[in-house]
Amino acid sequence: MTQTLTPRPERRQPDLTRRRLLALAAATVVLLVVLAASLALGARDIPLGTVVEALTDRVPSDNDHNVVLDQRLPRTVTGLLVGAALGLAGTVMQGVTRNPLADPGLLGINAGASLAVVLAITGLGITSPSGYVWFAFAGAAAAMVVVYGIGSTGRSGTTPVKLALVGTALTAGITSVLTLLLLGSTSATNTYRFWAVGSLAGRGSGTGADVVLTLLPFLAVGAALALLSGRALNLLSMGEDLARGLGLHIRRSRLLAVLAAVLLAGAATALAGPVVFIGLVVPHIVRPLTGPDYRWVLAFAVVVGPALLLIADVIGRLVARPGELEVGLVVALVGAPVMIAIVRRSRLAGL
C-alpha cells in the first residue's frame, strides 16, 4: 500500500516569510537605484562617480559637487521622508476605514492643511514655505480632530463609514471656503498654487532644511505608531465583533492609528504640499507581494512609497529639460489611471 505524503503545514509559513523577505530586499534594491538616479539625473546629468566623490570628498569649488550636495541631496532626502510618510498613512487609512480606496485626503487632512495655508497667506501675509509649513501641519491636525470628534458621536461610536462620510463632507465644505478666499486675492492664488501643486524642489535645502529637522520627530513618532498598529489593523479587517472578542480595544487602537496617519500625512503635506495618489496606490502595489497582513504591508510601504515618489520626481526633471514638472503633477498623471484600474477590479466593483 502506497502512502501519500503531504507537505507539513508548518513549512508554509517559513516559505511565505522567506518570499516576503526576498521581495522586501528586491524593493530595497529598487529604492537604492532610484536614490542614485535622483542624485545623478536632472537638468544636467552628473556621472555616478562624481556623485560618489561629492558625498565622500566634497570639493567646494566643484559645481557638480555643489549641485549634488546643496540641491539634489536635500531634495532626495525630502522625497524619502514624504514618500514613506504618505505610504504609511495611506495604508493605515485603508486599514482603519476598511476602504481600499482610502488615502490621507479621505479624512480631510489635505483640505485642512490647504485651508490653513490660505488663511496664513491671505490673513497674515506669509508667503514663504518655511513660514506657512506650520499652518499646514496645524490645519491637517485640526481637520482630523473635527472628523474624529464628529465621527465618534452617536450610539455606534466611531465607525469607518462615519469617518469617511464626515471627512468627505468636511473636504467639500473646505473646498468651497478655499474658492471664496482665493477668488478675492490674485497674489494669494499665485502663492498657494505653488504649494498646492506638490513639489520637492527647494523643500530640504536652506531654511527648508530647518523645517525638515523640526518635523522629523513628528514623522518618527507617526511612523512608529503606524508600524506598531499592524496587528490591530489585521484584527479590525476581520470585523469589530471578532476583533473585540480577541481582546482588541477598538476605540483606542483606531485612535492611535488615526493619530499616526495625522502625524505622517500632516507632516508630509506641510513639507511637499498635498501630493495625491501615493497613499492610495502604495498598499495596492504591495499587497500582491505581502498578502493581507498589515504588518508586512506597512513594512513594504516604507520602501515602496519613497521609490514611487522619487521616480515621479526624476521623470518630472527629465521630460521638461531644462525646466521640470512638479512631482505632484507627475504623480497625478500616473495615479489617475491606476486609480481607475483599481476601481475596475472585480473585487472592488461593489464598493
Q: Which three cell numbers stand for residue 283?
A: 498598499
pLDDT in the model for residue 86? 94
Q: Kindly state whether residue 14 falls inside one of the protein's structural domains.
A: no
Q: Kindly state whether residue 8 falls inside one of the protein's structural domains.
A: no
206 pLDDT above the threshold of 60: no
Share of the chain above pLDDT 90, in %: 26
Q: Which three cell numbers stand for residue 31?
A: 529604492
Q: Kindly state whether residue 4 falls inside one of the protein's structural domains.
A: no
338 or 23, which is more confident: 23
Q: Which of 111-120, 192-201, 215-224, 312-321 has the lowest mean pLDDT?
A: 192-201
29 pLDDT above the threshold of 90: yes
Q: Kindly state whether residue 10 falls inside one of the protein's structural domains.
A: no
pLDDT in the model for residue 304? 95
pLDDT in the model for residue 7? 47
Q: Are 234 and 297 in contact (CB under 8 A)?
A: no
- Give the count of domains, the chain: 1
Whole-angstrom distance between the N-terminal and C-terminal Cα of the chain?
Answer: 53
pLDDT in the model for residue 295? 94
Residue 311: pLDDT band with limits 50, 70, 90: very high
Domain with 107 in it: what CATH number? 1.10.3470.10
Residue 208: pLDDT band with limits 50, 70, 90: low
pLDDT in the model for residue 1? 46
pLDDT in the model for residue 276? 79
CA 338 vs. chain centroid, Å, equals 16
Q: Kindly state whether residue 12 falls inside one of the protein's structural domains.
A: no
Q: Which amino acid is at 228?
A: L
40 pLDDT above the threshold of 80: yes
Which residue segment(s) compose the domain that 178 sits in? 19-348
Q: Kindly state whether residue 3 falls inside one of the protein's structural domains.
A: no
User: Mean pLDDT score of the chain, rounded to an integer?
Assistant: 83
Q: Which three cell numbers stand for residue 310?
A: 522619487
Q: Kindly state whether residue 6 falls inside one of the protein's structural domains.
A: no
Q: Are 42 and 316 in contact (CB under 8 A)?
A: no
Q: Kindly state whether residue 200 falls inside one of the protein's structural domains.
A: yes
